[in-house]
Structure 1
Amino acid sequence: MFFVDRLDAGRQLAARMRGFEQDDPVVLGLPRGGVPVAAEVARTLDAPLDVCLVRKLGVPYQPELGMGALGEGGVRVINDEVVRGARVTPEELEQVEARERAVLEERARRYRGQRPPLPVEGRTVVLVDDGVATGSTARAACRIARARGAARIVLAVPVAPQDWTMRLGEEADDLICLGTPREFFAIGQFYADFAQTDDSEVVRCLEQAAERVSGRHT
């Protein structure tokens, strides 16, 4: 067992990342479980916090198979190889995109209210999740941050499989992980408490970070 809970994981990860505050980064947490971890990193780096909203586009008859991803601001990443291999028609792709775009927009309203997404163009972006399993969500998040104009992407997680750098090394400029155990079956096995993060906790983390940053400028 590596971590008591996500708060503990965030504090340990934040301790590893001291020095990154010199880059004046923006910290983006992957909802929902990555946001409490990211909140601790943002607090330590005295950086603004936001969510990186990603929706996987699943093949219609095999939703767990990702054929791409959507992000805010109209960003879309399509894996043409999967689309061709699964014989997904343009109409089917359009239907999946419309459904997931609606979910994306609803979550943005739920998490931020009236606040716009934090701008990341030309900035160092620290993407944080509570762990990496297959890496598909992290890969999509990196590509979306890049498409939004991030100058440098740092992917930081508490735990990941041993081959995670091979899977994600081309997507991020820096990869930071506290532990890469040999026996890896699921992220939750490395947490004593891996209860699901609810929406209210995500909102609370974002509001507290926004108050911290605004207080710094008053």
Structure 2
Amino acid sequence: MQGLRDAFVRPLRGRAPRPLYDRADAGRQLAAKLRPYAGRQDLLVLGLPRGGVPVAYEIAKALHAPLDIFVVRKLGVPGHEELALGAIASGGIRVLNEEIVHALALSDDEIEAVVAREQKEIERRERTYRGDRPPFNVQGKTVILVDDGVATGATLRAAITALRTQQPAKLIAAVGVAPVETCDVLETEVDELVCLLKPDPFWAVGLWFADFSPTTDEEVQRLLAQADELLRTEKGEQTMTTTPPMAERPIEQRSVQITAGDVTLAGDLSIPQGAEGLVLFAHGSGSSRFSPRNRFVAQVLQAGGLATLLFDLLTAGEEEIDLHTRHLRFDIPLLAGRLVATTDWVVQQPTLAQLKIGYFGASTGAAAALIAATQRPEVVGAVVS
């Protein structure tokens, strides 16, 4: 891919804009152009996952603004998914390329099948990235909508259309690179457009970045958590970086696989040096071990010298089913059984067996924790919700 990128970019560099180094570089350059908005109380930065989030993070950090995600998915033509027939955004808003739809004679059923598939992915991403935290309210806010780059603009336009329904006071689009003709269209749909590069010929977004490595779900989660922590620190709130000397103790962190009956549950285990207790997190309905709230609480507990285990009460396959049926998240006996099995797993681990165990539960997880505690009274010393 690097060789292909160089083959296209090198012949153009004599008359083309300088390529960006990576997404973070694009974010810092965009932040410099958006500096007049720094420190505004009504400012909100929204990144389009996944690639737009590293760019948005740098903007939010520089402008001292909260960061959130806004999920949009391209609608690919059946059998030729690389060709976009439109896009769909959170809230069911869609933008269709009518020329493509008519040219290929796509039926309503074909379009709806694609929409249904991408809607599932939108719900998965929102759950993965945001956990059980609700999205920020954009009404009356100055919103900066960020992506790493755009080609046709269908995805970004879907996001713009969806956000307009929520009545922001001002909507700004910020992108690293886009063709001139796409910028001309976008400028008619937002209050302000900031684009670093408008190369001609355009070719593709990735050609204008020296490093255009894929952004992972884990990176999106990490950047959202870091942005939240930075904002809390600036406001003088206590976070992991401002906690006492206990927070400086070494912490062993590892991913674990927990056998619970005939399923395997994924978990994240953190053990501070000298820990005397372990807190098992039972997340709420529709959430997961990536819940920003639970991860923040876990950091505080780790700073106080307690080990933590955040794990999924449902498997990935069960979460996929639950997106449609919503019945597993309310199956308290099932969730309690998973928590009991996890407790038994902990007791069997040589490095954990001597630790005192407590539960931290939220929503349906709290109900599961109460039931599980009654089934292992000799092991569980506390339940907190």
Common fold by TM > 0.5: yes
In the alignment, the residues of structure 2 paired with residue 207 and residue 190 of structure 1 have an alpha-carbon distance, to the nearest angstrom, of 28
User: Offset at 1:78?
Assistant: 4.3
Q: Does 1:195 align with 2:213?
A: yes
Q: Does 1:167 align with 2:190?
A: no
Q: Which runs of 5+ in 1 are unaligned?
A: none
Contact between 1:125 and 1:145, CA under 8 Å: does it hold in 2? no
User: Offset at 1:142?
Assistant: 1.2
In the alignment, the residues of structure 2 paired with residue 67 and residue 179 of structure 1 have an alpha-carbon distance, to the nearest angstrom, of 25
Q: Does 1:87 align with 2:105?
A: yes
Deviates more, 1:162-171 or 1:55-64: 55-64
Other structure's SS at 2:91 match: helix
User: Offset at 1:157?
Assistant: 1.4
The one of 155, 158, 169 aligned to 2:173 = 155
Deviates more, 1:173-182 or 1:98-107: 173-182
User: Offset at 1:217?
Assistant: 6.3
Deviates more, 1:24-33 or 1:145-154: 145-154
Larger radius of gyration: 2
Contact between 2:91 and 2:162, CA under 8 Å: does it hold in 1? no
Q: Percent of counterpart pairs with the same letter?
A: 50
Other structure's SS at 2:149 match: coil
Choose between structure 1 and 2 for higher RCO, CA contacts under 8 A separated by at least 6 residues: 1
In the alignment, the residues of structure 2 paired with residue 71 and residue 110 of structure 1 have an alpha-carbon distance, to the nearest angstrom, of 16
User: Offset at 1:59?
Assistant: 3.2
Give the aligned residue type for 1:11: R
Q: Does 1:12 align with 2:12?
A: no
Q: Which runs of 5+ in 2 are unaligned?
A: 1-17, 238-385
Q: Does 1:117 align with 2:135?
A: yes
In the alignment, the residues of structure 2 paired with residue 145 and residue 167 of structure 1 have an alpha-carbon distance, to the nearest angstrom, of 17
Partner in structure 1 of residue 20 of structure 2: 3
Other structure's SS at 1:120 match: coil
The one of 81, 87, 93 aligned to 1:75 = 93
In the alignment, the residues of structure 1 paired with residue 231 and residue 156 of structure 2 have an alpha-carbon distance, to the nearest angstrom, of 26
User: Offset at 1:60?
Assistant: 2.8
The one of 53, 56, 61 aligned to 1:38 = 56
In the alignment, the residues of structure 1 paired with residue 231 and residue 127 of structure 2 have an alpha-carbon distance, to the nearest angstrom, of 21
Structure 1 pair 61–191 and aligned structure 2 pair: CA distance change class (3 A): closer
User: Offset at 1:175?
Assistant: 0.7
Q: Does 1:182 align with 2:205?
A: no
Other structure's SS at 1:183 match: coil
Other structure's SS at 1:166 match: helix
Partner in structure 2 of residue 142 of structure 1: 160
TM-score norm. by structure 1 comes to: 0.89
Give the aligned residue type for 1:18: R
User: Offset at 1:81?
Assistant: 5.8
Give the aligned residue type for 1:214: R
Q: Deviations over 1:19-65 (max 9, x none)?
A: 11337321111111111011000111111111110012233344344
Q: Deviations over 1:137-167 (max 9, x none)?
A: 2212211211233232111112222333323
How many residue pairs align between the two structures?
Answer: 218
Deviates more, 1:62-71 or 1:161-170: 62-71
Q: Deviations over 1:184-215 (max 9, x none)?
A: 22222222211111111111111111222333
In the alignment, the residues of structure 2 paired with residue 111 and residue 92 of structure 1 have an alpha-carbon distance, to the nearest angstrom, of 29
Q: Does 1:107 align with 2:125?
A: yes
Deviates more, 1:114-123 or 1:208-217: 208-217
The one of 133, 140, 147 aligned to 1:129 = 147
